[in-house]
Amino acid sequence: MDLRKWCRWFLLVLVILSAGFVEGGDIVHDDEDAPKRPGCENNFVLVKVQTWINDREGDEFVGVGARFGTLMASKEKHANRTRLSVSDPSDCCETPKNKLDGLVVLVHRGNCKFTTKASVAQAAGAVAVLVINTQKELYKMVCSHNQTNPNITIPAVMLPKDAGESLEKSINSGALVAVQLYSPERPLVDTAEVFLWLMAVGTILCASYWSAWSAKEAMIEHDKLLKDAPDDFLNMENTGSNGVVDINTTSAILFVVIASCFLILLYKLMSYWFVELLVVLFCIGGVEGLQTCLVALLSRWFKQAGESYVKVPFFGAVSYLTLAVLPFCISFAVVWAVYRRISFAWIGQDILGIALIITVLQIVRLPNLKVGTVLLSCAFLYDIFWVFVSKKLFHESVMIVVARGDKSGEDGIPMLLKIPRMFDPWGGYSIIGFGDILLPGLLIAFSLRYDWAAKKNLRAGYFLWSMVAYGSGLLITYVALNLMDGHGQPALLYIVPFTLGTILTLGKRRGELANLWTRGEPERVCPHLQHSQVN
């Protein structure tokens, strides 16, 4: 196996471990033990805290509203700018020594209940209370288990530690600090999610047709070779010289095991330098994917350059067309890596990512439905375990932590497709992991190859319905994401039952399940045998 094939196998593992990266919230505290009750029935909402330092507009921070207290204005124009003061004592567990009439009070977390702090601040005349958390993550403030209606009529907001300390430092230095609190509503459907859905579906569509077309051309070439070949040649095994790798049951299981090991490694070693290493690996994969796609497109016009080869150390035979497009691909990846923190760098990341996914779907194939079922079932369990179950073992969702790039100082790992939320007042990105496209894509590409080999039209085949199933599963993922208060959702939890269930159901209903399960292709009569029968 040459160096390029080793790179492809390693990058395939990186793609698989990114399955499940759909979206993660910033609120880390769950409140299953603190249900809604009278006086403690607010929905948890993110709150914008716009600041002014000595009448000059300062930073804007993000907090989370408490289960108790009054609701804040949803529009900035309806929110009042109010002076901010630090409580004395700082925890606000007893009546403050300083006057708080008509002020927003900044207090520290700890030493008493959240509702106690809010009640004391309210009794002292404060119009709102900002609680500084002990860590940079946000924490949901709830009432105690047996607490009755606390009768709190002022807003209460939790701030991250760094934001609260920054405000406290400004006040202690003698600056006049004012804040404006409001909680803008998110749109029900953001255009970013629509475009991301189209991007994922379009990537699988393109990759499936390319895979099916390549398989068709290989089949035609194979039939030509066999037409006048001797009988003993018919028993020769395909050595895989065309560069296509068929996954077997063992490798399907190993993929998920290895991906889990890599995920733990990412979780334990997550840091700035480790993300930088992932960026380098992603660029290598992006260059490989981009040049493969460009060569495939350009070879239709520059056929001679695409069929002329030169031997390169470590890489084997490389076409002249590949050598021509390689400098552009490397330059594109390097420019993205250098400027990946600017606002529109997501475009370059998506181009490299889509090219990588299409290339992997071209060179890696499922031989039958049995292997596809094993692979997707393992990925289904992998996704659920590392998003949900891992919370019990690691006290946080390993998948979400890795996807966000916590402790790295970076905005997530690069193995994601992302689009900025253009009309969301909270900003951010809608994201999906490569694995959530690649793994179902392997099954969908298999269904199209089967349809073409069996000469099925769209309605009678499996490809159209598997594409509809994938699109529906991804759509349900985003619906669940919006219903689950922004908590990260494992996409394969919804996509796998839709896609795999559709093909299994159709196969059984049409009486073709046994053939799909084992052979993975329709019964074919060899041209050589047909020729003999005619004679």
Tell me 183's DSSP state: -
Cα(498)–Cα(212) distance, rounded to whole angstroms?
Answer: 22
Please spell the DSSP secondary structure of 53-77, one letter per residue.
Answer: ETTEEEEEEEEEE-SSSPPPPSSGG
CA distances from 327 to 315, 323, 477 (A): 16, 7, 39
Cα(463)–Cα(468) distance, rounded to whole angstroms?
Answer: 9
CB 477 within 8 A of CB 383: no
Pick the catalytic residue from 190, 350, 424, 436: 436
Pick the catalytic residue from 383, 411, 424, 485: 383
Helix-helix angle 320-338:346-363, to 10 degrees: 140
- Count CA atoms closer than 13 A to 172's CA, side-chain side: 10
Cα(475)–Cα(491) distance, rounded to whole angstroms?
Answer: 10
232 is catalytic: no
Tell me 415's DSSP state: S
Cα(272)–Cα(127) distance, rounded to whole angstroms?
Answer: 41
Dihedral (CA of 97, 103, 109, 111) sign: positive
CA torsion angle for 511, 515, 516, 517 (degrees, to 10)? Answer: 110
CB 19 within 8 A of CB 379: yes
Give buried/exposed letters for 198-229 (b at 16+ CB in 10 A, else e). Answer: ebbbebbbbbbebbbebbeeeeeeeeeebeee
Report the SS3 class of residue 470.
helix
Locus of tokens 């690996």: 281
Tell me 233's DSSP state: G
Count CB atoms within 10 A of the CB of residue 412: 18
**Strands 429-433, 46-53: pairing kind:** unpaired
CB 8 within 8 A of CB 253: no
Q: Which amino acid is at 115?
A: T
CB 268 within 8 A of CB 394: no
Q: Which amino acid is at 75?
A: K
26 is catalytic: no
Locus of tokens 């809010």: 118
**Strands 177-182, 81-86: pairing kind:** antiparallel
- Contacts with 493 (C-beta within 8 Å, 6 or more apart), sequence order: 380, 383, 384, 387, 477
- Contacts with 445 (C-beta within 8 Å, 6 or more apart), sequence order: 204, 207, 208, 211, 212, 361, 365, 366
Could you list the active site residues?
A: 383, 436
